[in-house]
C-alpha cells in the first residue's frame, strides 16, 4: 500500500475508501449509534434484541470472501486522516469500527480494537464524552476481555486502559478498573477450560495481572482474596490471586508448560513487589515457599543426566524462582531463619 500511495493524496484515497466500499460493507445501522449524528443512544434502537438482529449473518457483508481484508483497509484509511478531520468524518469511522468491536466472534472483535487504536488517541476526549462514545467503546472492550478469547487478544487490555485513562477519573475510573479485574482476571480463572485448551487463556490472564499491578499499585490487595458469583448459581466460589498463580506451578515441569510457568512466576513476583509496602505477602509465605520449593527441586532433578538442549527453559525458570525467594526473604525476614526440628524428647 505504501508503494502505491506514496505519489498520491492519501487523504483523498482514505475518504474514498470510507465513503464507498467500506460504507457499503457496513451498511447495516448499528443499534447503539444515532445514524444522523453518530451519538450514542441511551438504549438500543429496536429494543433489547436489536443486537441479535444486528449480528445476523445476512447483514454481515464484511465477512464475505469479496470483502477479505476490509478491516486492514479500514485501519489504513483511518490512520491516514488528519486529526482535524476525525470529528467531521466520525460518521464514516465509528459505525464500521464499533460493528467489528461488537461482533459475536472474538477474532473480529480483536480486529475492531486494532482499528480503534489507529484513531482513538487522536480524537478529543471532551467530544468523545459529549457524544457518549466513551461508554460505548469501554463497554465493548471490557466485554471483549470478559470473553477470554482463545487464541488470546493481548492488545485489548492496553486499549481498554488507554480509554479509561483518556475518558474517566476519580470514582468512575476506579469502577472501570474494578470491572476489568473482576471480568477479565477473576472470572477468567473461574471459567478457563481445563488442560491444554485453557493454557493460552491462563497465560494471557497472568500477563494481564502483571499489567494491572502497574496500573492499580497497592490497590491490587483488594483482589488478593475475592469471591466470584457464578451466573448460574448463587454459590460464591473463592478465587484468590496468589493460590491461582501457584496452582499450575504444581504440574510436572516440562518444556510444554514453560510459558505458563514463566507467566505465572512473573505475575507472582510483580504482585509481591507491588504490595511490598502493605506487608500482606507474609500471610502467603508458606504457600509460596512450599510450591516454589517443590518446583525448584523438580527442575533440579530434571537437570540430572539431561541433554544440553534441555537446559535453557529450566535455567530461565530457576532464575525466576531465585528472584522470588530473594524478594520473599527481603519482605519476610523470618523465612531466612534456620529452625531446628530435631526431636528433643
CB-based contact 195:251 (threshold 8 Å)? no
Q: Where are the domains of the chain?
A: 1-168, 214-345
Q: Which grid coordinates belong to 256?
A: 510444554
What whole-number distance in Å separates Cα of residue 200 and Cα of residue 260? Answer: 8
47 compared with 249, residue with greater pLDDT: 249
Count how many residues are written for the chain.
Answer: 345
pLDDT in tens, 264-278: 999 999 999 999 999
Q: Percent of the chain scored above 90 by pLDDT?
A: 71
- In the predicted structure, residue 314 carries a pLDDT above the cut 60: yes
pTM: 0.89
- Residue-wise pLDDT for 117-130, tens only, equals 999 999 999 999 99
Q: What is the pLDDT of residue 239?
A: 54
pLDDT of residue 344: 45
pLDDT at 316 over 50: yes
Tell me how far apart the terminal alpha carbons of the chain are, to the nearest angstrom. 83
Mean pLDDT of 282-310: 82
198 Cβ neighbours under 8 A, 6+ residues apart:
150, 192
Q: Which long-range contacts (CB under 8 A, 24 or more apart) does 294-303 make?
A: 294/250, 295/249, 295/250, 295/253, 295/261, 295/321, 296/321, 298/252, 298/253, 299/253, 302/253
Amino acid at each position: 500500500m505504501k508503494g502505491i500511495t506514496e505519489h498520491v493524496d492519501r487523504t483523498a484515497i482514505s475518504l474514498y475508501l470510507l465513503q464507498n466500499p467500506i460504507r457499503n460493507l457496513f451498511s447495516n445501522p448499528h443499534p447503539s449509534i444515532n445514524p444522523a449524528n453518530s451519538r450514542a443512544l441511551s438504549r438500543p434502537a429496536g429494543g433489547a434484541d436489536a443486537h441479535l438482529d444486528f449480528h445476523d449473518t445476512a447483514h454481515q457483508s464484511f465477512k464475505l470472501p469479496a470483502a477479505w481484508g476490509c478491516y486492514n483497509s479500514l485501519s489504513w484509511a483511518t490512520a491516514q486522516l488528519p486529526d482535524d478531520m476525525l470529528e467531521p468524518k466520525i460518521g464514516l469511522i465509528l459505525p464500521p469500527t464499533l460493528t467489528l468491536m461488537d461482533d459475536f466472534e472474538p477474532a473480529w472483535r480483536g480486529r475492531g480494537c486494532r482499528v480503534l487504536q489507529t484513531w482513538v488517541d487522536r480524537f478529543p476526549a471532551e467530544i468523545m464524552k459529549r457524544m457518549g462514545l466513551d461508554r460505548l467503546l469501554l463497554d465493548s472492550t471490557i466485554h471483549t476481555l470478559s470473553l477470554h478469547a482463545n487464541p488470546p487478544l493481548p492488545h485489548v487490555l492496553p486499549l481498554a486502559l488507554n480509554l479509561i485513562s483518556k475518558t474517566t477519573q476519580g470514582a468512575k475510573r476506579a469502577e472501570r478498573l474494578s470491572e476489568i479485574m473482576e471480568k477479565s482476571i477473576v472470572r477468567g480463572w473461574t471459567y478457563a477450560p481445563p488442560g491444554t485448551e485453557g493454557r493460552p487463556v491462563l497465560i494471557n490472564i497472568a500477563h494481564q495481572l502483571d499489567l494491572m499491578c502497574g496500573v492499580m499499585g497497592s490497590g491490587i490487595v483488594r483482589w488478593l482474596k475475592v469471591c466470584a458469583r457464578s451466573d448460574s448459581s448463587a454459590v460464591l466460589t473463592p478465587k484468590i490471586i496468589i493460590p491461582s498463580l501457584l496452582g499450575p506451578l504444581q504440574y510436572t515441569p516440562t518444556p510444554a508448560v514453560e510459558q505458563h510457568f514463566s507467566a505465572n512466576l512473573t505475575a507472582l513476583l510483580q504482585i509481591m513487589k507491588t504490595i511490598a509496602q502493605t506487608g500482606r505477602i507474609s500471610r502467603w509465605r508458606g504457600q509460596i515457599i512450599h510450591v516454589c520449593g517443590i518446583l525448584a527441586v523438580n527442575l533440579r532433578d530434571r537437570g540430572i543426566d539431561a541433554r544440553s538442549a534441555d537446559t535453557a527453559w529450566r535455567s530461565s525458570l530457576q532464575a525466576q524462582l531465585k528472584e522470588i525467594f530473594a524478594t520473599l526473604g527481603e519482605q519476610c525476614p523470618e523465612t531466612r531463619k534456620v529452625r531446628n526440628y530435631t526431636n528433643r524428647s
